[in-house]
Chain A
């Protein structure tokens, strides 16, 4: 399989904190790769550099053969990379369906349209997407009044709207009940297999990680300390040490 995302020697520091220290890895197309590590390990920083929200101090990021190291979030998105954030970001004054409709309008370059009735644009396609992530019944509800777990689903639907070739998710199931988490991740992975979409995600719930990733990458203090198949990583002595230090591998927070 060909390499879809290639990260080489990424470095990022914030003042005295080294959030990313010479991080290199490849993600093959259609691969599902999980990044794990304790709080503050540098997972979100890594994702933000790939997504274009942060500019790395050094290193290179290539996506589908194109250098996107210096690309901003808009260009990264157009090149086929969808993204959800650790701190859920949706449009609070939009209905659930409109949150997806706006992504479709942007995809179809309708953002300067002063005339059409936005409420009607791409309605069916948006409805299909929110149905798929299980919040179809809330289509007309305002996002500002949704529960946290449902917001995570809205954000997922927004990210899926552009039919990305790689989906990057920072703690996609935080704030959900355990059964709900598994169901959602099953759904996303199934959808990804069907569409041939790669997945890059972080999770603190180890059941989710080991049940849904093809390969796991372990970060600690900005460095990659281990990588490999879920079983190999689970057995790795260094990884166990890191996690024992922070209260075990089932550590999870909202």
Chain B
């Protein structure tokens, strides 16, 4: 590697570090003050790009190219800032005091809504933006050509950092933002000012995201994947830098930018792997991130419940037995298509139950549960397609592979908690997604694997139905059993009162790790069953939307219920199946539904039913 090349690669790294920093720092600022991890940050970024490709060309024509371009960029950032204000006033204000999981889900609801709105307004095609006037050429650096626009980006990051620094030191607003980030209780003492502060912070954070997206347009067309692609990287940057720290985000962006610039020479395709490994190393050495403050150990989990797990009354046992018998008779009365639906419902019921072991019992917010479902699905699919193994062997490999993967990831994230854990599970899922997507030789890449059909004896859908009923049903009831066993109690104890649990000898982190592994295995089994029910598998099973679907199912059923997720899975999957063919706006509906659910009945369907049918706990 000669010197000139090295310098150029370094400059490339700086340019992408700048983009990353501008995109991520707003996320960190918003978290610092409001303690909300704003998933919709990626949507702000994408909207910034779309507004810029719409406004800039028009302004360039009507005013002049230079003023028009930069005016368009700034206007896009401002509009997105105002949308941030809108979101704060309409949604965030209502959820500052709900558990973190609900906050994450509600902001993800916004992501889904924005995705559909973008298609509605701008159409499904990518939109090319104009090049920056005056920065279209390239300069010579050590006899190598380097684009002027990239050079501008190299400068833009430090400029923004400086501007934020001035804002935080010299204005009253900035001083309040810093104070609120340092001391959470202070914000409650602010009274009337608090609302203004939070709204202002959303304007600042959202407009920064919008600016980052707008600055992207000379390099990449505005497209519908910008939000999800960006949010995973922004999470990595904020976590490495330390949640709430702007200089930390800058350092982390530099680290990731340079790592990717040089890493691309080593592993051409999987720069995300490098970013993730960097994050793992930083978190092992400094769990609070480079410049973050150590998290205060909360003595009380936000997810604590006051509803005991009572043994089932006799009528409920009988009702379940009856329901299972009726369900098992389905093949005699329904057509093949409905049977397929029933199989999928069982698969998702197991998937949702496995997630509820973590969330409901452990209070562990996993936002990347699709990872384990996907690992199981791919393990089964790879064995079936590449080595033609018998189906039962492939089905046995699914939970094993997923369990091993979950145990590995869990080993270093189980001791974390709250939003850190949520973001890391998501990052881990994105990493596995990237592997499945990019390792084309093994996984078939985007197209996935085809031809993973059941063995001859199980080809008939009726046989596969009973096989799924036995395996998924058995696993669901095994998970239910665990909830009533000492280990289930230990998990709940760690959720309700971690300090108390440790003081009676319970190793909370170890219990969570075991739960992570068991949940991974159960999700992996669901994934394996899914593969053979479809005959094919592609990376969407590993994607964020899959993780969110299963979260929505769990939530819909009720996290503090034992078998609620089974109903949540059935309800959501059936709804999806009926609604998808008749509407183009499924994401809009799902997103709106998730937000409504978080606001209206966070205890879930079954939780709601229980509060109607079971006598309430009276206060002595």
> A residues touching B (Cβ–Cβ < 8 Å)?
51, 53, 72-74, 77-78, 83, 85, 87, 89-95, 98, 101-103, 105-107, 110-119, 121, 138, 141-147, 150, 155, 158, 161-162
Contact = CB atoms under 8 A, between A and B. Distances in A.
B511 A111 contact: yes
A145 B620 contact: yes
A160 to B, nearest CB: 11
A53 B619 CA distance: 32
Contacts of B269: none
B306 A92 contact: yes
A116 B485 contact: yes
Nearest to B497: A89
B308 interface: yes
Interface stretch (B45-53, B111-119, B428-436, B502-510): B502-510
B504 A162 contact: yes
B497 A91 contact: yes
Contacts of A78: 505
30 contacts: A53-B503, A77-B504, A83-B503, A85-B299, A85-B503, A89-B497, A91-B492, A91-B493, A91-B497, A92-B306, A93-B309, A94-B489, A101-B489, A102-B486, A106-B504, A111-B487, A111-B490, A111-B511, A112-B486, A113-B486, A115-B481, A115-B485, A118-B484, A118-B485, A121-B486, A138-B620, A143-B306, A158-B504, A161-B504, A162-B505
A92 B304 contact: yes
B479 to A, nearest CB: 10
Contacts of A89: 299-300, 497, 499-500, 503
A158 B501 CA distance: 10
Nearest to B503: A73
A138 B308 CA distance: 13
Contacts of A145: 306, 617-620
A93 B484 contact: no
A72 B507 CA distance: 10
Contact of B500 (A85, A105, A144, A161): A85
Interface string B507-529: 10001001000000000000000
Contacts of B308: 93-95, 98, 142
B296 to A, nearest CB: 12
B317 to A, nearest CB: 14
A105 B487 CA distance: 10
B408 interface: no
B496 interface: yes
B508 to A, nearest CB: 9
**Which among B487, B499, B500, B511 has the highest number of chain A CB atoms within 10 Å?**
B500
Given A91-B492, A102-B490, A114-B482, A77 B503 contact: yes
A114 B487 contact: yes
A105 B511 CA distance: 14
B607 to A, nearest CB: 13
B305 interface: yes
Interface in B518-562: 560
B311 interface: yes
A61 B395 CA distance: 54
Nearest to A150: B620
A95 B504 CA distance: 17
B488 interface: yes
Contacts of A119: 311, 484
B487 A113 contact: yes
B620 A141 contact: yes
Contacts of B504: 77, 102-103, 106-107, 158, 161-162
A162 B300 CA distance: 23
B307 interface: yes
A94 B506 contact: no
Given A93-B308, A142-B307, A112 B487 contact: yes
Given A114-B485, A145-B620, A150-B620, A92 B499 contact: no
Given A118-B488, A144-B306, A106 B506 contact: yes
A51 B504 CA distance: 11
A117 B299 contact: no
Given A91-B492, A93-B305, A144 B617 contact: yes
Nearest to B511: A111
Nearest to B307: A93
Nearest to B514: A112
A135 to B, nearest CB: 10
A74 B486 contact: no
Given A92-B306, A144-B306, 13 more contacts: A72-B502, A74-B502, A89-B500, A91-B496, A93-B307, A95-B308, A112-B486, A117-B485, A119-B311, A145-B617, A146-B620, A147-B620, A158-B500
A116 B184 CA distance: 43
Given A112-B514, A142-B308, A74 B618 contact: no
**Which among A78, A91, A92 has the highest number of chain B CB atoms within 10 Å?**
A91
Nearest to A100: B504
B485 A113 contact: yes
A144 B492 CA distance: 13
A228 B482 CA distance: 52
A53 B305 CA distance: 24
Contacts of B492: 91, 93-94
Nearest to B483: A118
Contacts of A118: 484-486, 488-489
A133 to B, nearest CB: 15
A105 B514 CA distance: 17
Contact of A74 (B487, B495, B505): B505
A47 B408 CA distance: 36
B486 A87 contact: no
A106 B504 CA distance: 7
Nearest to B506: A106
B486 A105 contact: yes
A75 to B, nearest CB: 9
B314 to A, nearest CB: 16
Contacts of B299: 85, 87, 89
**Which among A90, A102, A107, A146 has the highest number of chain B CB atoms within 10 Å?**
A102
A94 B496 contact: yes
A116 B620 contact: no
B531 to A, nearest CB: 27
Contacts of A106: 490, 504-506
Contacts of A146: 620
Given A90-B497, A91-B496, A142-B617, A110 B505 contact: no
B305 A92 contact: yes
A44 B85 CA distance: 43
A33 B511 CA distance: 36
A77 B560 CA distance: 30
A21 to B, nearest CB: 23
**Which among B488, B499, B505 has the highest number of chain A CB atoms within 10 Å?**
B505
Pick the 7 closest A-B CB pairs, nearest first: A144-B306, A89-B500, A93-B305, A113-B486, A91-B496, A73-B502, A103-B504
Nearest to A74: B505
Given A87-B299, A102-B490, A150-B620, A93 B496 contact: yes
B496 A92 contact: yes
Interface in B293-334: 299-300, 304-309, 311
A145 B311 CA distance: 19
A138 B617 CA distance: 12
A164 B484 CA distance: 28
Nearest to A96: B308
A112 B560 CA distance: 21
Contacts of A138: 620
Contacts of B493: 91, 94, 102
Given A102-B504, A141-B620, A142-B307, A116 B486 contact: yes
**Which among B309, B484, B486, B560 has the highest number of chain A CB atoms within 10 Å?**
B486
A119 to B, nearest CB: 6
B306 A142 contact: yes
A89 B300 CA distance: 8
Interface in B456-483: 481-482
